[in-house]
């Protein structure tokens, strides 16, 4: 039902044109059974005059026999028709209501809140841009509040309204409202839901729902309806990294061949170059075709058909992107998985995986941890049961093209399907490419053993193998020290392999970006090379930012604690900024370089480094001498193995 407008009677074409231009907001309401969720939906529709007169008359009659609102019309009964429909066989336990105002169109997802209906809430929330989280003013933040907040965060909903309902039952107390706001703010620090909008209300009496009401004069913020009409849901929409999964190849006649799909991110214009993945073939956009007309530019959410200047092979399941901003590609991914099947999931069983770029075969290779959605604690699990949420490593026989779910909800999501029943058994949100630290080599491979033992190599080279990891912020002096250390070792007759971060990224890690997952993989590759060099009797010198303590610890474990030396270049960030030759810090400050350690990402300082150096007060020679002393003290500069 749409809003009332004089244009309906005077100029229906103008009304329809006005209605078509409005943007659409999808939102869900969630909360405990008694928090007033159904009453709120009914109040929104009633006070916005979105209920037909005959429906309202029936509602008033039913309120006298079935209602629980005393003398008031029980607006919660408005949703009972939807509940009856679900009882009559709708399998996905989510109901939707549509309405509009003069400002915006809305779709409400009415989702159940019980823990046993987690999968249903995930289904309804997966397409929503905003969540209204109901909190009973008498009870405050309860377990159910935390559960729903976690699911909203998991599904990438950044706009959250914390509706503190039933303020009439606490005498509209401002102090009670402030207590709940503080309690929720403290809890939500661990979740990625932006800045929630706190709103006191009484859904039963209508205070602060559509109209201000007489009882909350101390609150000067907009009402719920005013907030819904004006909230900017386009904040964070990716307009840079063009993505269009191809859903159909359109060939109505011999003269037209286009690729139809919905743009999930970025913008595109005729004449711009695009690349088809996974093939990597490039062409330029000739036309952007819609039912009504050709477009000069198209952006996220627009369903279009794109024609190209060249006859290249593009099929359903391929993805059109811009060559300078490609998605990640991997057979193995880490993902948060919501298990939706009554049959339990045990790692190793094969399922179908359906993502933005088609269907393949997949298995859950590892359950990294299961999340207790009541406490948000991580726990070990050997299998998943209905409604479980867990971080899993998933392997697919088809290479997946994806972005992380936090960056793109369309290319970062997938479903898993039972191969026999064709039932959807899980929904997944991709975190990134799976960490190869945990990946086991193929069982058919056998490690080859050298015929030269460690003693022979030590005598030949006059040294013991080890790996020196130089870690610290960009421009701290890591590469300079590594180069000088390599020179000094060479002059002493020692044999070393220097692994500089920039050189690595120009070669074996040229396919990696700078996300936390990709930085982890970069260090893993460097560590594997360093270990191979150590096994050949060489010293390895690695100079990398390596910002994550847990990943550095994994490098130590892979090398072996007896061969590993961690050197922390603890140069103050102000000094690093001053000596930065490429202006990386300035670019990071402006937002041009995301995930930059020390600016837009965290650098985790080593707490137990073997050596700490500061190039703002120590010369390069002093730093090299300090490292050599550690090498000498631990026996790495000797040509014989100590007994």
Query: Taking a C-beta distance cutoff of 8 angstroms, is the pair 473, 597 a contact?
Result: yes
- 521's enclosing H/E stretch is helix 516-535
Among 96-100, 384-388, 543-547, the range scoring the smallest mean pLDDT is 96-100
Question: Which pLDDT value is given to residue 85?
Answer: 37
**For residue 432, is pLDDT > 80?**
yes
pLDDT tens digits, residue range 109-141? Answer: 877 666 666 777 787 788 888 999 999 999 998
User: Residue 246 — very low, low, confident or very high, per pLDDT cuts 50/70/90?
Assistant: very high
Asked which of 137-151, 263-277, 481-495, 529-543 is least confident by mean pLDDT, the reply is 137-151
Nearest-angstrom CA–CA distance, 34 and 83: 16
Rounded alpha-carbon distances, angstroms, from residue 626 to 31, 481, 579? 60, 11, 23
| pLDDT (0 to 100) of residue 190 | 76
> Within 10 A of 637 (CB to CB), how many other CB atoms are there?
18
Mean pLDDT of 219-243: 87
pLDDT at 403 over 60: yes
Can you say whether residue 286 is alpha, beta or left, with left for phi > 0 and alpha for psi between -120 and 50 degrees?
Answer: alpha
The pLDDT, as a whole number, for residue 68 is 56
Which range among 27-31, 113-117, 192-196, 528-532 has the greatest average pLDDT? Answer: 528-532
Give the pLDDT score at 601. Answer: 82
Distance CA 68, CA 45 (A): 19
**Model confidence band, residue 52 (pLDDT cutoffs 50, 70, 90):** low
| Residue 640, C-beta contacts closer than 8 angstroms, at least 6 positions apart | 458, 459
Tell me the angle at which helices 516-535 and 549-559 cross, rounded to the nearest 10 degrees: 20
What's the CA dihedral at 626, 630, 636, 641 to 10 degrees?
150
- Per residue in 160-182, pLDDT tens? 999 999 999 999 999 999 999 99
Pairing status of strand 105-110 against strand 467-471: unpaired
Rounded CA gap, 167 and 218, in Å?
13
Q: Is residue 641's pLDDT more than 60?
A: no
Q: What is the mean pLDDT of residues 402-412?
A: 89
Q: How many angstroms separate the CA atoms of 160 and 175, rounded? A: 22
Residue 202, token pair as written in the block = 């009484």
- The per-residue pLDDT for range 193-220, each reduced to its tens digit, is 778 999 999 988 889 998 888 899 999 9
User: Cα-flanking dihedrals φ and ψ of residue 516, to 5°?
Assistant: -60, -40
The number of angstroms, rounded, from the C-alpha of 308 to the middle of its chain's C-alpha atoms is 32
Q: Residue 636: pLDDT above 90?
A: yes
Residue 567's CB: how many other CB atoms inside 10 A?
27
Report the C-alpha gap between 469 and 541 in whole angstroms: 6
Domains in the chain, start-ordered, CATH in brackets?
Answer: 7-230 (3.40.50.300), 243-321 (2.40.30.10), 328-433 (2.40.30.10), 454-633 (3.40.50.300)
Question: What is the average per-residue pLDDT within 255-261?
Answer: 93
Exposed/middle/buried for residue 400 (C-beta within 10 Å: 0-12, 13-18, 19+): buried
Q: Which residues contact 112 (CB under 8 A, 6 or more apart)?
A: 93, 94, 120, 121
The CA distance from 285 to 293, in Å, is: 16
Q: Could you give the strand order of the β-sheet that contains 243-245, starting from the edge strand earlier in sequence?
A: 243-245, 319-321, 273-277, 281-289, 303-308, 256-262, 248-253
Percent share of the chain, pLDDT over 70: 86
pLDDT band at 82 (very low <50, low <70, confident <90, very high): very low
For range 50-65, the mean pLDDT: 62
Angle between helices 478-491 and 620-633 (to 10 degrees): 60
**How many residues are present in the chain?**
643
Q: What is the pLDDT of residue 66?
A: 57
Alpha carbon distance 193, 30 (integer Å): 15
DSSP type of residue 440: P
Q: CA 443, 448, 451: angle at the middle one, nearest 5? A: 165
Q: 388: helix, coil or strand?
A: coil
pLDDT in tens, 573-621: 999 999 988 889 998 888 778 778 998 888 999 999 999 999 999 999 9
Q: Rounded CA gap, 307 and 548, in Å?
A: 45
The tokens describing 412, both together, are: 């970062």
Which pLDDT band holds residue 62 (cuts at 50, 70, 90)? low
CA 515 from centroid of its chain's CA atoms: 12
DSSP string, 400-411: EEE--TTT-TTT
Q: What is the three-class DSSP state of 394?
A: strand
Is the pLDDT score of 60 beyond 70?
Answer: no
Please, which pLDDT band fits residue 56 given cuts at 50, 70 and 90?
A: low
- Taken in order 71, 76, 79, 84, is the CA torsion positive or negative? negative
Burial state string for 569-585 with b = 16 or more CB within 10 A and e = fewer than 16: bbbebebbbeebeeebb
pLDDT at 516 over 80: no
Q: State how far the Cα of 468 lies from the Cα of 634, in Å rounded to an integer.
A: 12
Strand ranges for 254-302 from DSSP E: 256-262, 273-277, 281-289
Of the candidates 549, 566, 542, the residue with the CA atom closest to the CA atom of residue 605: 549
Average pLDDT, the chain: 86
3-state helix, strand, coil in the chain (%, to 5): 30, 25, 45
pLDDT band at 43 (very low <50, low <70, confident <90, very high): confident
Helix 118-125 vs helix 143-154: crossing angle, to nearest 10: 40
Task: Name the pLDDT band for 320 (thresholds 50, 70, 90).
Answer: very high
Instruction: Evaluate whether 362 touches 350 at the Cβ level (below 8 Å).
Output: yes
């Amino acid at each position: 039902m749409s809003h009332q407008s004089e244009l309906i009677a005077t100029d229906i074409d103008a009304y329809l044109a006005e209605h078509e231009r409005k943007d659409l907001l999808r939102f869900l309401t969630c909360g405990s059974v008694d928090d007033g969720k159904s009453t709120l939906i009914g109040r929104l529709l009633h006070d916005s005059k979105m209920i037909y007169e005959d429906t309202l008359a029936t509602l008033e009659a039913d309120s006298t026999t079935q209602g629980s609102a005393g003398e008031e019309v029980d607006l919660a009964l408005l949703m009972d028709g939807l509940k009856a429909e679900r009882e009559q066989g709708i399998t996905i336990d989510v109901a939707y209501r549509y309405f509009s105002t003069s400002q915006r169109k809305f779709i409400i997802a009415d989702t159940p809140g019980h823990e046993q209906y987690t999968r249903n809430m995930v289904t309804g929330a997966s397409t929503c841009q905003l969540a209204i989280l109901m909190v009973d003013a008498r009870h405050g933040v309860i377990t159910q509040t935390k559960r729903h907040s976690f699911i909203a965060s998991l599904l990438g909903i950044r706009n959250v309204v914390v509706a503190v309902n039933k303020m009439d039952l606490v005498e509209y107390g401002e102090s009670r409202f402030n207590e709940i706001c503080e309690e929720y703010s403290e809890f939500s620090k661990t979740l990625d839901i932006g800045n929630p909008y706190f709103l006191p209300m009484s859904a039963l009496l209508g205070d602060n729902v559509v109209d201000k009401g007489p009882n909350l004069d101390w609150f000067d913020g907009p009402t719920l309806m005013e907030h819904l009409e004006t909230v900017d849901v386009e904040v964070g929409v990716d307009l840079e990294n063009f993505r269009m999964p191809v859903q159909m190849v359109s060939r109505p006649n011999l003269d037209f061949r286009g690729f139809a799909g919905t743009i999930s991110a970025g913008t595109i214009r005729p004449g711009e170059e695009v690349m088809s993945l996974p093939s990597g073939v490039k062409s330029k956009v000739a036309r952007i075709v819609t039912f009504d007309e050709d477009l000069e530019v198209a952006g996220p959410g627009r369903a279009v058909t794109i024609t190209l200047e060249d006859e290249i092979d593009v099929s359903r399941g391929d993805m059109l992107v811009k060559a300078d901003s490609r998605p990640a590609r991997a057979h193995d991914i880490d993902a948060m998985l919501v298990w939706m099947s009554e049959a339990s999931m045990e790692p190793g069983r094969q399922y179908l995986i359906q993502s933005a770029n088609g269907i393949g075969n997949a298995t859950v290779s590892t359950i990294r941890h299961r999340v207790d959605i009541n406490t948000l604690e991580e726990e070990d699990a050997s299998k998943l049961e209905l409604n479980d949420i867990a971080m899993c490593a998933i392997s697919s026989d088809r290479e997946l093209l994806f972005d992380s779910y936090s960056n793109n909800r369309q290319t970062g999501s997938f479903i898993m399907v039972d191969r026999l029943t064709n039932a959807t058994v899980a929904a997944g949100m991709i975190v990134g490419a799976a960490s190869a630290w945990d990946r086991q080599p193929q069982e058919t491979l056998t490690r080859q053993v050298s015929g030269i033992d460690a003693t022979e190599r030590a005598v030949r080279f006059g040294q013991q193998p080890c790996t020196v990891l130089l870690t610290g912020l960009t421009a701290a002096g890591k590469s300079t020290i590594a180069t000088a250390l390599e020179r000094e070792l060479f002059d002493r007759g020692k044999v070393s392999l220097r692994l500089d971060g920039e050189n690595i990224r120009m070669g074996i890690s040229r396919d990696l970006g700078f996300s936390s997952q990709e930085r982890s993989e970069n260090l893993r590759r460097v560590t594997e090379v360093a270990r191979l060099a150590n096994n050949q009797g060489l010293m390895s010198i690695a100079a990398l930012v390596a910002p994550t303590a847990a990943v550095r610890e994994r490098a130590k474990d892979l090398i072996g604690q007896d061969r590993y030396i961690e050197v922390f270049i603890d140069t103050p960030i102000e000094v690093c900024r001053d000596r930065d030759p490429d202006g990386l810090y300035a670019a990071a400050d402006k937002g041009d370089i995301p995930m930059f350690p020390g600016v837009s990402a965290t650098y985790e300082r080593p707490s137990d480094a073997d050596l700490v150096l500061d190039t703002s007060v120590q010369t390069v020679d002093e730093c090299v001498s300090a490292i050599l002393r550690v090498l000498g003290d631990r026996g790495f500069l000797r040509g014989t193995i100590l007994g």
